[in-house]
Copies of this chain bind each other. A is one copy, B any other.
Amino acid sequence: MNKAAPRPGDGTIGKALEVLDLIARFERPVRFSEVLSQSSHPKATLYRLVQTLTSLGMLRYDVDNQTYAPGLRLVSLAHAAWRQSSLAPIARPHVDALSETIGETVHLAQLDGGQVLYVDKRNAADPIEMFSQAGKVGPAYCTGVGKAMLAFLGDAAREVALAQQAWFPHTSHTHTSRASLLDELATVRRDGLAYDREEHETGIICVATPILSETGRSIGALSVTTSTARKSLSDLTEFVPHIKTTAQDIAKSAATWQFPTQ
């Protein structure tokens, strides 16, 4: 597992965020001692951090079970973030249209801290059981959207992102090194297209395209996902033109989008 960069000198706020992230990663309410065992902070320090976060509503403390979980205050903050910093509100009509035409699961993702963050999703009519939902994060090095975005990053930004990858072999098709991934990224850059060939989950494949800024850098990615039980990679290829034009439409809307300067 990778962790949020605990750069020295990040300050108290960084430490607090680190703790919040740690608790969020458990994906279930946790007891103090469990957090402690995963944390680099001494008991008293962690205790105070957790207390502070709880009193601020960033954590919720369950008195009965003596557990901590991320608090609802985060949800209202995220609402503002989603509306202002994600492509989702702008892309919504385009994603709707694509999903309706294609009838498979559509994902809209952005890169955040070297990871793929799914900011919107449309389920297939007959939904496949799989890992994804808006707000969910996933690895960049072994997903279609991740590779699409990495390929169209500036060199410096890509280096930063690559350094944050875990290279965990989720399946036998997963890239496990910088070198082999970079190789594929060249192809992705050439085609403007990235495939996930069961690299993250066995039986799950997808095709993804980057959403590019006017300067040719990726600001997000769009993908169509399916299972090998339903379709093959070459079946997916048939959707490519439609996905590409949708990505371009989203890019255009994003560029046009003017924030009220007032």
Q: How far is the CA of A215 from the CA of B51 in the complex (A)?
A: 26
Q: Is A77 an interface residue (CB 8 A)?
A: yes
Closest to A52 in B: B13
Q: Is A261 an interface residue (CB 8 A)?
A: yes
Q: Which of A54-62, A164-172, A202-210 contacts B (4 or more CB under 8 A)?
A: A54-62
Residue with the highest number of chain B CB atoms closer than 10 Å, among A16, A55, A67, A113: A55
CB atoms of A259 and B24 under 8 A apart: no
In the complex, per-residue mask of A1-27: 1 if CB is within 8 Å of any chain B CB, else 0: 000011010111110110011011101
A62 to chain B, nearest CB (A): 8
CB atoms of B130 and A6 under 8 A apart: no
B residues within 8 A CB of A74? 74, 77-78, 80-81
Q: Which of A131-139, A149-157, A181-189 contacts B (4 or more CB under 8 A)?
A: A131-139
CB atoms of B260 and A28 under 8 A apart: yes
Give the contacting residue for A69; candidates B11, B85, B262; CB below 8 A: B85
Given contacts A27-B83, A74-B78, A82-B135, contact A56 B89 (CB under 8 A): no
Q: Is A248 an interface residue (CB 8 A)?
A: no
Q: Is A218 an interface residue (CB 8 A)?
A: no
Q: Is A97 an interface residue (CB 8 A)?
A: no
Give the contacting residue for A113; candidates B20, B57, B83, B120; CB below 8 A: B57
Q: Is A230 an interface residue (CB 8 A)?
A: no
Closest to A76 in B: B137
CB atoms of A8 and B137 under 8 A apart: no
A-B contact pairs, 28 of them (CB 8 A): A6-B55, A10-B56, A13-B13, A13-B53, A14-B52, A20-B77, A23-B80, A24-B76, A24-B80, A24-B81, A27-B83, A28-B84, A28-B260, A29-B84, A70-B78, A72-B85, A72-B117, A73-B112, A73-B113, A74-B77, A74-B78, A74-B80, A78-B135, A79-B133, A82-B132, A82-B135, A89-B132, A131-B134
Q: Residues of A at under 8 Å CB distance from B?
A: 5-6, 8, 10-14, 16-17, 20-21, 23-25, 27-29, 49, 52-53, 55-58, 60, 65, 67, 69-86, 88-89, 92, 110, 112-113, 115, 117, 119-121, 123, 128, 130-137, 259-262
